[in-house]
Amino acid sequence: MPPAPAHSTPAKSTRAWNHWFARFGLAFALLVVGATLALLQPQFLTAANLLNVARQISINGILAVGVTYVLLTGGVDLSLGSLVALTGVVAATFAHPGDWPVIVPITVGVLCGAACGAVNGLVITQGRIAPFIVTLGMMTAARGLALVVSHGRPVSNLSEPFVALGGNVAGFPVQILVLLAIAGVSGLFLANTRPGRYLYAVGGNEEASRAAGLNVPAIKTFAYTVSGALAGLAGVLLAARITTGQPNAGVAYELDAIAAAVIGGTSLSGGVGGIAGTLLGALLMGVINNGLDLLNVSSYYQQIIKGVIIIGAVWLDRRQRN
């Protein structure tokens, strides 16, 4: 049945607007927020401050890239914050001065995170248990393991080269460079490889993916392993930044990471999203955090503002999809 011509014009322009918004809406929002902040507080738009923002989002950014893999498959990873603590503590125990070269604590931290992520994936796919439950369990267990490994105390006295991971190289903070590298590799991976494509397919329609001959459990387990490994990397960088392995670190970091990905247009029900959006989401959260501090907005109100932004972003996402 052809649509009545009277309705077609407004419908078409709405669709064009939605299309435009889906593409550039977030970048636009970021510009608006940035411009507002620059007007209210001239300090916002200085090179030093922008570098600060980049540094402050890098841990969350790395976690958000990792959780994007999982969200694309239609899953969720609640264990990230605890994995940051566990891997930070584990890496720190290998990072005392004179013990090992700095590559060892880094590798151990990342492998530890990857192993926990793989356990998440295997239990979810082989045990057929909801990702929410499995990663919630991992969240508790990994936190406990972090306390056991560290005897409940921060692991301090870390070597120079390890702590240098929290500093600069050629004027650029190391963690920003790591985030950019991770995001770049992930973006290319998702666009140009079979497993990358399959992540979208599995999240978009698991049954159809199985019917198309994909190895669904393997793809899901892969996503959780990447998410865990990147949590390990974030844990190492955090330990370097705060110069200690903290068993209490990273509480609720997973929620910030998921929020960044969702603000960036990655769907909680899977199959839709991407790294560029996730980075923009993390950036928007970081800019708002930084700006509210610069404007000295009370901590009480900061929490309200951030909550409203998260819900608003998801609401816009829903609206443009329907």
Partner 1 sequence: MGWLLEARDITKSFSGIRVLNGVSLTVQSGEVHALVGENGAGKSTLMKILAGLHAPDSGALLLDGQPVHFRNAHAALKAGIAMISQELMPFPHLTVAENVFMGQEPVSSFGWINRPALKRQTEELLAQLGVSLSPASRMRDLRVSEMQTVEILKALAHRAKLIIMDEPTSALSDREAEALFRILQDLRQRGTAVIYISHKLEEVFRLADRVTVLRDGGLVATQDLADTTPEMLITLMVGRSLNPRSLPTPQRTGQPSLSVCGLGKTGRFENVSFDVHPGEILGIAGLMGAGRTDVLNAIYGLHPADAGEIRVEDHPVTVAKPRDALRAGIGLVSEDRKQFGFVPWLGVKQNMTLASLRRWCHLGRIDHDAENRAVEDQVQAFGIRSAGNDQPVVRLSGGNQQKVVLARSLLAEPKILLLDEPTRGIDIAAKAEVHELIARLAETGKAIVLVSSELPELLSLSHRLLVLSEGRLTAELDPQRTSQEEILKFAMPR
Partner 2 sequence: MLEFRSRFFSGMPQCFRYLLVLALAIFCGCDQKAATRQPGAGESKPLVIGVSLMNLASEFIAMINQSMEAEAKQLGVKLIVNDAQRSPERQVQQVESFIAQKVDAIILNPCEVEASSPAVTKALAARIPIINVNSETRVPPTAFVGSRDEESARLAMDYIARRLEGKGNVLMMQGFLGQAAQIKRDQGAREVLKTQPGLKLLADQSAEWDRAKAISLMENWIQAHGNNINAVFAQNDEMGLGAVLALEQARRKDKVVVVSVDAISDALQAVKAGRLDATVFQDAKGQGSTAVQTAVKIVRGQPWQTQVFIPFQLITKENVGEHLK
What residue ranges bind partner 2 (CB under 8 A)?
A: 41, 43-44, 46, 48-49, 52, 55-56, 59, 147, 152-154, 156-157, 166-167, 238, 241-244, 246-249, 251, 289-290, 293-296, 298-300
Among 192, 298, 299, 322, binds partner 1 (CB under 8 A): 192
- Give CA–CA dist 319/71, Å, rounded: 19
Contact between 128 and partner 1 (CB under 8 A)?
A: no
Phi, psi of 172 (to 5 degrees): -110, 135
Only one of the segments 5-13, 28-36, 192-200, 293-301 lies at the binding site for partner 1 (rule: CB under 8 A); that segment is: 192-200
Site string for partner 1, 250-279 (x = CB under 8 A): ---------------------xx-------
Task: Compare residues 39 and 212 and give the one whose CB is closer to partner 1.
Answer: 212
Task: Identify whether the C-beta of residue 88 lies closer than 8 Å to the C-beta of residue 191.
Answer: no
How is residue 41 annotated by DSSP?
-
Angle at 188 between CA 216 and CA 186, to 5 degrees: 65
Task: Identify whether the C-beta of residue 239 lies closer than 8 Å to the C-beta of residue 92.
Answer: yes
Task: Identify whether the C-beta of residue 79 lies closer than 8 Å to the C-beta of residue 139.
Answer: yes
Task: Compare residues 216 and 294 and give the one whose CB is closer to partner 2.
Answer: 294
- Using DSSP bridges, classify how beta strands 172-173 and 168-169 pair: parallel, antiparallel or unpaired: antiparallel
Only one of the segments 42-50, 94-102, 115-123, 199-207 lies at the binding site for partner 1 (rule: CB under 8 A); that segment is: 199-207
Among 205, 243, 302, 320, binds partner 1 (CB under 8 A): 205
Task: Compare residues 17 and 301 and give the one whose CB is closer to partner 1.
Answer: 17
Give SS3 for 248.
coil
Contact of residue 241 among partner 2, partner 1, none (CB under 5-8 Å per partner type): partner 2
Contact between 186 and partner 1 (CB under 8 A)?
A: no
Return the H-helix or E-strand segment holding 202: helix 194-204
Number of H helices and E strands in the chain, helices first, is: 13, 2
Residues within the interface to partner 1 (CB under 8 A): 1, 192-194, 197-198, 200-201, 204-205, 207-215, 271-272
